[in-house]
Amino acid sequence: MLTKWQWVLRQFTRKLWVRASLFAMMGVLAALISIVAAPFVPEDLAGTVGGKAVDAILNILASSMLAVTTFSLSVMVSHYGSVTSNVTPRATRLLLQDTTAQNALGTFMGSFLFSLVGIIALSTGLYGDNGRVILFAVTILVVLLIVLTMLRWIDHLSSLGRMEEPTEKVENATRDALRAWGEWPHYGARPLGAIPEGATPVFPGEIGYVQHFDLGSLNAAAESRGVEIHVTAPPGRFVHPREALAWVNGETDEDAKAAVRSAFSIGDVRTYDSDPRFGLSVLAEIASRALSPGINDPGTAIDIISRGVRVLAEWHEARPKGTDEREVSYPQVHVPGLDTDDLFEDVFTPIARDGASLVEVQIRLQKALAALADIGGPALAPSARRQSALALERSDRGLELEAERQRVRDVALAAG
């Protein structure tokens, strides 16, 4: 489990401008290195053809890289707008964290600044003949980097605009979050039971969604004060000044409340990292958008059903089996686990509702729920059968033809 500052640092480094700024600084530094390294160049290399040709190469880079950067930005903005309109606005956050796009934009921007700084330094005579040789060598390396980046960027552009790209990113993010919860059902803390009588609630000072909690800080605060902390607002929970983040069982003062409150990160939106239910909800939202009359794409809804089966099956496989208990790393903290019914409702209920009038969607949904019941056994079967019964009731009301209703019933009965 990441500490609060590790989590904040991860969120910061995922921003587009951070990586672009880093590449830009590297470009400027590469141009200035030639000035520092000039005295180390042998005199017989000074004034070579490469040194004289660097002016023209830098001018070409300066003009072309600015155009390439502008074009790439326009392509990305257009793609994000398309995903917002046709998929879901919640998926664009993952696209903004795409390292391939960030590296491409950073490389193009850094190359532009490298050539610009080089041209300015050449015009002032800072390099001299020795510095020109170094600058020429660095320029060749920059050109090779640009070529490799462009080849990768062209391959990446071929995937933009496909429905599979954003849905795959959402599936992967959801799978990672679910697997983390599966491997550590309570993130190394103790399971949350009934709140002890006399426990003191700790309320947040702001309104929003819990995005992360620092279990290490919570456990340290509890151990130092000889108390136990019962977390009732895990990542994904919407909280307000009258919704408790946690309850402290033991003697509690304002400093203890402040320590508990500071361990929670609250923001305006939900995140994928520690909130697998959000990922499942986004998958269902993609399917619902595809089933809307304006788009009318049941194939995407069927694809989302398959993805839901995969992530839930992997979550089940990652969970401890039998006596395979995980070590408790935070014994003073109690954290709620994931409820299987909630997970099934997050991903399958919206699809069953919005696809109630489509026989192909209902048949696939019944088969998917049957597969999860077989895979998960007693752990998943009750939730799968409950969702199957609800979907069957919706299809009975939504399908117009009795023959189609009977087909869905037959599939549900055979899966039974």
Is residue 380 a part of any domain in this protein? no
Residues 6+ apart with CB under 8 A from 319: 182, 183, 185, 379
Is residue 18 a part of any domain in this protein? yes
Domain co-membership, 127 together with 10: yes
Domain co-membership, 149 together with 273: no
* pLDDT of residue 11 exceeding 90: no
- The token pair that represents 129 in the structure block: 């003949």
Domain co-membership, 170 together with 120: no
Domain co-membership, 40 together with 55: yes
- Could you report the per-residue pLDDT of 351-410, keeping only the tens digit for each? 999 999 999 999 999 999 999 999 988 889 999 999 999 999 999 999 999 999 999 999
Domain co-membership, 157 together with 198: no
Domain co-membership, 145 together with 120: yes
Q: Domain ends where: 338, 354, 370?
A: 354
**What backbone torsions phi and psi does residue 198 show, to the nearest 5 degrees?**
85, -5
Is residue 413 a part of any domain in this protein? no
Domain co-membership, 320 together with 179: yes
- Could you report the per-residue pLDDT of 135-194, keeping only the tens digit for each? 888 888 889 999 999 999 988 888 777 778 889 999 999 999 999 888 888 888 999 989
* Rounded Cα gap, residues 75 and 95, in angstroms: 13
Average of per-residue pLDDT across 30-55: 66
Average of per-residue pLDDT across 240-249: 93
Domain co-membership, 91 together with 180: no
Is residue 388 a part of any domain in this protein? no
Share of the chain above pLDDT 90, in %: 48
Is residue 50 a part of any domain in this protein? yes
Domain co-membership, 166 together with 42: no
The half-sphere exposure of 109 on its side-chain side, counting CA atoms within 13 A, is 20
Domain count, the chain: 2
Nearest to 95 by CA among 9, 20, 168, 2: 168
Q: Which domain holds residue 150?
A: 4-161
Is residue 78 a part of any domain in this protein? yes
* pLDDT of residue 279 exceeding 90: yes
Domain co-membership, 166 together with 153: no
* pLDDT of residue 257 exceeding 60: yes
Domain co-membership, 210 together with 157: no
Q: Domain ends where: 310, 332, 354?
A: 354
pLDDT mean across residues, the chain: 87
Q: Domain ends where: 334, 354, 374?
A: 354
* Size of the chain in residues: 416
Is residue 213 a part of any domain in this protein? yes
pLDDT confidence of residue 326: 67
Domain co-membership, 8 together with 116: yes
